[in-house]
Amino acid sequence: MKNRTFILSILFIVAALAGWYIYVARQAAEARSVQEVSVDWWGSAHADASAESFTHWNEDEPPLVPVNCAKCHSGDGFLDFLGQDGSAGLAVDAPAAVNSVISCEVCHNEKADMLQVASFPSGAQISMGNPDALCGSCHSGTGAGADVKAAAGDYGDDELIAEGAFAAPHYAFAAATQMGAEAESGFQYEGKSYTGRFLHANGVQTCTQCHDPHSLHIRQNYGDDDNLCAACHSNVTGYSDYRDVTVSKVDYDGNGQVKGIYYEIEGMRGVLYRAMQQYASSRLSQPLLWADQYPYWFNDSNANGKVDEGEAVFANQFKSITPRLMRAAFNFQFSAKDEAGYLHNGDYMLQLLYDSIEDLAQVVELDTSGLVRPD
Ligand code: HEC
Ligand code: HEC
Ligand code: HEC
Ligand code: HEC
Ligand code: HEC
Ligand SMILES: [Ca+2]
Ligand SMILES: [Ca+2]
Ligand SMILES: [Ca+2]
338: which residues sit within 8 A by CB, 6+ positions away? 172, 173, 174, 176, 177, 344, 349
Q: Are both 199 and 302 inside the same structural domain? A: yes
Q: Are both 197 and 345 inside the same structural domain? A: yes
Ligand 5: lining residues by beta carbon, under 6 Å = 200-204, 210, 218, 222, 228-229, 231-233, 236, 242, 245-248, 261, 342-343, 346
Give residue 7's pLDDT: 61
In a domain, 187, yes or no: yes
> Residue 125's beta-bridge partner residues?
119
Q: Are both 314 and 182 inside the same structural domain? A: yes
Q: Domain ends where: 96, 114, 132?
A: 114
Q: Domain ends where: 95, 114, 133?
A: 114
Distance CA 70, CA 49 (A): 15
Q: What residue type is 119 in one-letter code?
A: S
Q: Are both 106 and 250 inside the same structural domain? A: no
Give the structural domain span for 85: 43-114
Give residue 108's pLDDT: 98
In a domain, 227, yes or no: no
In a domain, 327, yes or no: yes
Backbone angles phi, psi at 230, to 5 degrees: -65, -20
Ligand 3 pocket mutation, candidates 50, 216, 337, criterion most atoms within 8 A of CB? 216
Q: Are both 192 and 286 inside the same structural domain? A: yes
Q: Are both 268 and 356 inside the same structural domain? A: yes
> Residue 126's beta-bridge partner residues?
118
Q: How far is CA 282 from CA 269, 308, 328, in A?
A: 20, 21, 16
What percent of the chain stands above pLDDT 70? 92
Strands 117-119 and 125-127: antiparallel
Q: What pTM did the predictor assign?
A: 0.94
In a domain, 23, yes or no: no
Q: Are both 56 and 195 inside the same structural domain? A: no
- On whether the CB atoms of residues 100 and 133 are closer than 8 A, the answer is no
In a domain, 254, yes or no: yes
| 51 within ligand 3 shell (Cβ under 6 A) | yes
Q: How many CB atoms lie within 10 A of CB 143?
A: 20
Torsion of CA 165, 171, 176, 178, to 10 degrees: 140
Selection from 102, 51, 57, 53 nearest residue 76 by Cα: 102
Q: Please name which ligand lies nearest the alpha carbon of 310.
A: 8
Q: Domain ends where: 98, 114, 130?
A: 114
In a domain, 109, yes or no: yes
Give residue 374's pLDDT: 98
Distance CA 182, CA 367 (A): 31
Ligand 4 atom closest to Cα of residue 239: 12
Q: Are both 295 and 183 inside the same structural domain? A: yes
Distance CA 229, CA 225 (A): 9
| 146 within ligand 3 shell (Cβ under 6 A) | no
Q: How many CB atoms lie within 10 A of CB 304?
A: 11
Q: Are both 60 and 201 inside the same structural domain? A: no
In a domain, 214, yes or no: no
Q: What residue type is 320 in one-letter code?
A: S
| 133 within ligand 4 shell (Cβ under 6 A) | no
In a domain, 20, yes or no: no
> Residue 96's beta-bridge partner residues?
65
Q: Are both 95 and 190 inside the same structural domain? A: no
Give the residue ranges of the chain where pLDDT is below 50: 1, 22-26
Question: How many domains, the chain?
Answer: 2
Q: Are both 94 and 201 inside the same structural domain? A: no
Give residue 24's pLDDT: 46
pLDDT digits (tens, 9 = 90+) for 74-92: 999 999 999 999 999 999 9
Q: Whose CA is nearest to atom 33 of ligand 4?
A: 174
Q: Are both 84 and 192 inside the same structural domain? A: no
Give residue 6's pLDDT: 65
Selection from 225, 216, 291, 229 nearest residue 260 by Cα: 229
- Going by the DSSP 8-state scheme, the letter that residue 147 receives in this structure is H
